Structure 1
Amino acid sequence: MPIAWSQTSPSRVIHADNLEVLPGLPDESFTLIYLDPPFNTGRVQNRRTTTSVRLAATPAGEALGARAAGTITGFKGQLYERIKGDLLGYDDQFEDYWAFLEPRLIEAWRLLADDGTLYLHLDYREAHYAKVLLDALFGRDCFLNELIWAYDYGAKSKNRWPTKHDTILVYVKNPARYYFDSTTVDREPYMAPGLVTPEKVARGKLPTDVWWHTIVSPTGKEKTGYPTQKPIGILRRMIQASSREGDWVLDFFAGSGTTGAVAASLGRRFVLVDQNPESIAVMRTRFAPLPDVEFVEPPGAERAPAADAALAPTPEATR
């Protein structure tokens, strides 16, 4: 599905399979890419025995082609393809999932600007596999952080420690040039305010790599009705720290569009992709108050209707 897009285009929401759209976007166009792919919690993905990614005839494309072909040296001196084969041999179900995710991560690497950052949001079941594979695919020196988003909501297991966190792996395109500005990030209260000065208490502290943040409340103003919606506060931290005003942000598992809503509120531009009509309907309602957001539907498809306005957040909730 060819999409005519450049950095002079308006912010855009694309209704399509992301792997049909991504190869048509220009190299190194996005300062920040946030991905929240479907978690591998038992669903069956279509198994693929080969990966086919269209590469541009550019130095970046040639370098990526070398990486995708397994000709680079990765983690502990082993080739990427060797590492992938070893890991996938442990878990057939993960092999299906990684066959789905790998070509999309290769495209993410190509689309990141030289000063860009990838945030990959994963379930705890997959994070350890993905960390080793991304070390090899991106290069271990490109690993920046493992963020833990911890929350305390819902039922708790009685026969093990309750699992109340997600993992967000952070990788940069170029470890010598990536953009990061912690001074722009919203601060949070000190957990032990009595141990610091009143001035520090008033100012708050910078978040660490463990983020305590509630999920989207089922009855809160932020709720859009989309089942996997992520909190605005989580996306704000990433976009504040790893992009500047005017930069482009990409999310090709867009869901309810929180990445775009936060990007717009912070003066960034965005491209969102999702193939779920319900997702597009929610985003039509969510972005209706924003000027210059373009929706692109697949050829011959009926326009996805806006969601019920009752499901949409108030303007305050998207800021």
Structure 2
Amino acid sequence: MRTAPANQLYYGDNLDVLRDHVATESVDLIYLDPPFNSNASYNILFKSPDGAGADASIEAFDDTWAWGPAASAALMDITESGNHSLHVLMQAIRTAIGENAMMAYLAMMAVRLVELHRVLKPTGSLFLHCDPTASHYLKLVLDAVFGVRQFRNEIVWLYTGPGSPGVRQFLRKHDTIFWYAKGETWTFNVDAVRQPHSAKTKANYKGGLVGSGFVGADHVIHDGGKVPEDWWEFAIAPRGKEYLGYPTQKPIKLLERIVAAASNPGDVVLDPFCGCGTAVDAAQKLGRRWIGIDITHLSIGLIEKRLTEGYRGAATWQTIGVPADRESAERLAADDPHQFQQWIALKLGGWPWKGGKKGGDRGVDGYFYYVGANGQTETGVISVKAGAHVNPSMVRDLGRVMARDGHALGLFVCAATPTRGMADEAASHGLIQTEFGRFPALQIFTLAELFQDRHPRLPPLVSPNRRASRVEVRPSHQPGSQRELL
């Protein structure tokens, strides 16, 4: 076991990453926004860079669960963990609700919460973000892992939105965030999260300032403002500047409040389900070190894009688990062609196929956007072949897709070495003239070229999704930082 240096972005199963790469008692703050067992598939939404056309989507993750060997193995791991209370609880829930999707979800969460408790420092805190689908079960699991006395707050995050016609119940418009401290002492930077008192409140306490507060008839209010209640209203507009299109994206202000309140500058913040990276963005902005983990290349690529564009080189990190050489890329291609397609499309500055589920891609594995005639944004198409065998007919098929869909440029990416016949087929499509020079209409690009630090011959590319907002890093002073005791 080794202690990971600051700012690590891991691709992989967070259970494996936690066990193999994150040392015991090395993390100050954990925020996790795991799947909610919603029995739904979630897509990331985006438009082409010029804003034209209908919304498109790519499957981000599938939040469906089923009882099987993985869930059984997780329960056995819990039994072997030595946490008897958790073992008894999980067996009782299994008896009560049976071996079903909810039980599989809870087993997945419980075994990971054991590891998250291990890596948390004695003064650290965990904030678990969930919704009413399983919150009642998850609080029991947290009680068993952390102890009932370590519960600090149940925070309700409120949001709004249009209702559905014919609704037969009150609208469900809140999530729950459970805060647990690991030990008897924890970080709570009260002055970092104070809110100004309203004019009416100040008027009611016109007795004047005494010490650090305004004195009224029977109460004292702090002159720096009030500590927020345990219900929070932070909005993220679906078409706003902050929104990146990720289906479960949370407002940056929500994460800034958690990070500011429960950690100090230089502390380590961990998000094991980091999605589009809002928690690591907040940690970076507030001067914390961070570790992010996600199991899709789509998320890893989106986070890298978000940090690169938002911080303009001021944010540094190491990405671990993505292919680092030709051998590891070929291994990914053989083990998971779909993830390979996502990784290579993002690596080359493009975007994976915008259609949703695997399969049914009509010969398209990805797109790239480039500056075309008169500065207009044009779309090129990517075909990715992860297998060891390629032939001219595959290149010919890409040419047909280009003709069918009206793309002037096509990129054929393969893990294997292309044949002479493939090169001839690509060359037969000729060149296109742009104001940036001439480019092959259809070109072949290989993994060998990628790891020789070569790039496809393309006009200037345009960011394929909403551009991340420029981040203004605030000074990381936190007045009133203190350790609160029970």
Bin of the TM-score, shorter chain as denominator length: 0.7 to 0.9
Structure ranking higher in strand proportion? 2
Corresponding residue for residue 292 of structure 1: 316
1:102 Cα deviation from its structure 2 partner = 1.2
Secondary structure of the equivalent of 1:148?
Answer: strand
Is the CA contact 2:67–2:103 (under 8 Å) kept in the aligned structure 1? no
Could you tell me which residue of structure 2 aligns to residue 69 of structure 1? 82
Are the structure 2 counterparts of residues 190 and 128 from structure 1 closer, same or farther at C-alpha, using a change threshold of 3 Å? farther
Greater radius of gyration (CA): 2
In the alignment, what sits opposite 1:162?
A: 171
What letter corresponds to residue 178 of structure 2 in structure 1?
L
Kindly tell me: are residues 293 and 124 of structure 1, through their superposed partners in 2, closer, same or farther at Cα, counting changes over 3 Å? same
> Greater CA deviation, 188-197 or 261-270?
188-197
* Residues in 1 aligned to 2:231 and 2:199: alpha-carbon distance in whole angstroms: 13
Aligned partner of residue 51 in structure 1, secondary structure: helix
* Match of residue 261 from structure 1: 281
Work out the CA distance in 2 between the residues paired with 1:203 and 1:165.
29
Q: How does 1:1-319 map to 2 (within 5 A)?
A: 5-6=3-4, 9-24=5-20, 25-42=22-39, 43-45=64-66, 47=68, 48-51=71-74, 68-71=81-84, 79-91=85-97, 92-156=100-164, 158-174=167-183, 176-185=184-193, 187=195, 190=198, 196-197=204-205, 204-214=225-235, 216-288=236-308, 289=312, 290-299=314-323, 300-301=328-329, 304-305=346-347, 308=463, 310-316=465-471
Counterpart residue type for residue 253 of structure 1: F
The Cα offsets for residues 197-229 of structure 1, whole Å up to 9 and x where unpaired, read as 588899553211111222x21111111121111
Q: Which deviates further from its counterpart, 186-195 or 233-242? A: 186-195
Matched residue SS, 2:107 = helix
| Map of 2:445 onto structure 1 | none
Query: Sequence identity, in percent?
Result: 31
CA–CA distance in 1 between the matches of 2:96 and 2:473? 42
Distance 2:196 2:282 in 1: 18
Structure 2 counterpart of 1:76: none
Per-residue CA shift, 1:245-283, capped at 9, x if unaligned? 000000010001011111011010100010112111111
1:291 CA displacement? 3.1
1:297 to partner: Cα distance: 3.0
Q: Secondary structure at the match of 2:270?
A: strand
Q: CA RMSD in A?
A: 2.9
Instruction: Say if 1:178 and 1:194 are closer, same or farther in 2 by CA, change over 3 A.
Output: closer
Q: Cα 1:83–1:310, aligned 2, differ >3 Å: closer, same or farther?
A: closer
The C-alpha deviation readout for 1:150-195, integer Å capped at 9, x for no partner, is 1112325732111110001111110x22111111115266496586
What secondary structure sits across from 1:295 in the alignment? strand
In 2, Cα distance between the equivalents of 1:22 and 1:82? 24
How many residues were matched structurally? Answer: 296
- Using the alignment, how far apart are the partners of 2:163 and 2:131 within structure 1? 17
Range with bigger deviation, 302-311 or 95-104: 302-311
**Structure 1 188/238 Cα, relative in aligned 2: closer, same or farther at 3 Å?**
farther
Secondary structure at 1:80 match in 2: helix
Kept after mapping to 2: 8 A contact 1:17/1:274: yes
Displacement after TM superposition at 1:21 (Å): 0.7
Inter-CA distance 151–191: structure 2 relative to 1 (3 Å threshold) = farther
Distance 1:273 1:202, change over 3 A: same
Where does structure 2 lack aligned partners over 5 or more consecutive residues? Answer: 40-63, 207-213, 215-220, 330-342, 352-462, 475-486
The answer on whether the counterparts of 2:273 and 2:294 sit within 8 Å (CA) in structure 1 is: yes
Checking the alignment, whether the CA contact within 8 Å between 2:6 and 2:268 is kept in structure 1 is: no
| Superposed CA offset, 1:79-98 (max 9, x none) | 33222222233333310101
- 8 A contact 2:194–2:224 mirrored in 1: no
Letter in 1 for 2:320: V
**Distance across 1 between alignment mates of 2:6 and 2:89:** 40
Deviates more, 1:112-121 or 1:306-315: 306-315
